[in-house]
Amino acid sequence: MKRWKAITGLGVSAALLAMSASAATASSPTKLVGKTRGVTLNFMIASSGPAETNADKAAAVAWGNSTGNKVNVINSSNLTLQLTEAFSGGTPPDVFYGETPMFESMAKNAQLLASGPLVDPASDFYSSLVQAYTYDHTFYCVPKDSSTLAIEINTAMWTAAGLTNANLPTTWAKLAYDAKALTKGHVTGLVMSNSLDRVGAFFAEAGGSYMNKSDTGFAFNSPQDVQALAYLQGLAKKGYLKFTPGDGVNAGWGGEALGTGLAAMTIEGNWIIGAMQSDYPKIPYEVVPMPAGPTGKHGTLVFTNCWGIAAASKYTAAAVSFVKSLASPAQQLKFANAFGVMPSRPAVAQEWATEHTTPIATGTETPNVSAFVQGDAYALPQVATVGFATVETAFNNEIDGLASANPQQMLSSMQTNAQALLQP
Identify the DSSP state of 23. P
| Bridge partners of residue 380, in order along the sequence | 301
Considering the rule CB under 8 A, would residue 109 count as an interface residue with another protein? Answer: yes
Considering the rule CB under 8 A, would residue 8 count as an interface residue with another protein? Answer: yes
Nearest-angstrom CA–CA distance, 95 and 92: 9
- Identify which range of 50-58, 86-94, 349-357, 404-412 contacts another protein by CB under 8 A: 86-94
Considering the rule CB under 8 A, would residue 159 count as an interface residue with another protein? Answer: no
Site residue total, another protein (CB under 8 A) = 47
**What value does the CA radius of gyration of the chain take, rounded to a whole number of Å?**
22
Considering the rule CB under 8 A, would residue 417 count as an interface residue with another protein? Answer: yes
Considering the rule CB under 8 A, would residue 10 count as an interface residue with another protein? Answer: yes
Considering the rule CB under 8 A, would residue 6 count as an interface residue with another protein? Answer: yes
Half-sphere exposure of 17 (CA within 13 A, CB side): 15
Q: Please, is 197 exposed, middle or buried when counting C-beta atoms within 10 Å of its C-beta (0-12, 13-18, 19+)?
A: middle
Nearest-angstrom CA–CA distance, 102 and 84: 9
34: alpha, beta or left? (left if phi > 0; alpha if psi -120 to 50): left
Judged by CB under 8 A, the residue of 72, 358, 390, 409 near another protein is 390
Considering the rule CB under 8 A, would residue 29 count as an interface residue with another protein? Answer: no
Judged by CB under 8 A, the residue of 138, 277, 387, 406 near another protein is 387
- Identify which range of 77-85, 220-228, 275-283, 403-411 contacts another protein by CB under 8 A: 77-85
Task: Output the smallest distance, CB 201 to another protein, in A.
Answer: 19
Half-sphere exposure of 184 (CA within 13 A, CB side): 11
207: alpha, beta or left? (left if phi > 0; alpha if psi -120 to 50): left
Judged by CB under 8 A, the residue of 34, 101, 234, 329 near another protein is 101
Judged by CB under 8 A, the residue of 250, 278, 350, 354 near another protein is 250
Residue type for 140, please?
Answer: Y
Task: Output the smallest distance, CB 166 to another protein, in A.
Answer: 36
CB nearer to another protein: give 245 or 281: 245
Considering the rule CB under 8 A, would residue 18 count as an interface residue with another protein? Answer: yes
For the residues of 82-130, what is the DSSP string, one character each?
Answer: HHHHHHHTT---SEEEEEHHHHHHHHHTT-B---HHHHS-GGGS-HHHH
Considering the rule CB under 8 A, would residue 422 count as an interface residue with another protein? Answer: no
| CA distances (Å), origin 202, targets 79, 292, 367 | 30, 9, 23
- Identify which range of 8-16, 64-72, 175-183, 335-343 contacts another protein by CB under 8 A: 8-16
* Start-end of H helices in 170-289: 172-182, 196-205, 223-238, 254-259, 272-279
- 305-334 per-residue burial string, b: 16 or more CB within 10 A, e: under 16: bbbbbbbbbbbbbbbbbbbbbbbbeebbbb
Considering the rule CB under 8 A, would residue 330 count as an interface residue with another protein? Answer: no
Nearest partner of 280 among 241, 303, 254, 249, judged by Cα: 254
- Identify which range of 101-109, 140-148, 173-181, 285-293 contacts another protein by CB under 8 A: 101-109
CB nearer to another protein: give 126 or 307: 307
CB nearer to another protein: give 125 or 307: 307
Secondary structure tally for the chain: helices H, strands E? 18, 14
Task: Output the smallest distance, CB 1 to another protein, in A.
Answer: 7
Q: Please, is 273 exposed, middle or buried when counting C-beta atoms within 10 Å of its C-beta (0-12, 13-18, 19+)?
A: buried
Judged by CB under 8 A, the residue of 234, 245, 261, 329 near another protein is 245
Judged by CB under 8 A, the residue of 396, 402, 411, 415 near another protein is 396
Considering the rule CB under 8 A, would residue 260 count as an interface residue with another protein? Answer: no
- Of residues 177 through 196, those in contact with another protein by CB under 8 A are 195
Per CB under 8 A, residues contacting another protein are 1-4, 6-8, 10-12, 14-15, 17-18, 21, 23, 80-81, 84, 87-88, 90, 101-102, 105-106, 108-111, 195, 245-246, 248, 250, 386-387, 389-391, 393-394, 396-397, 400, 417, 420
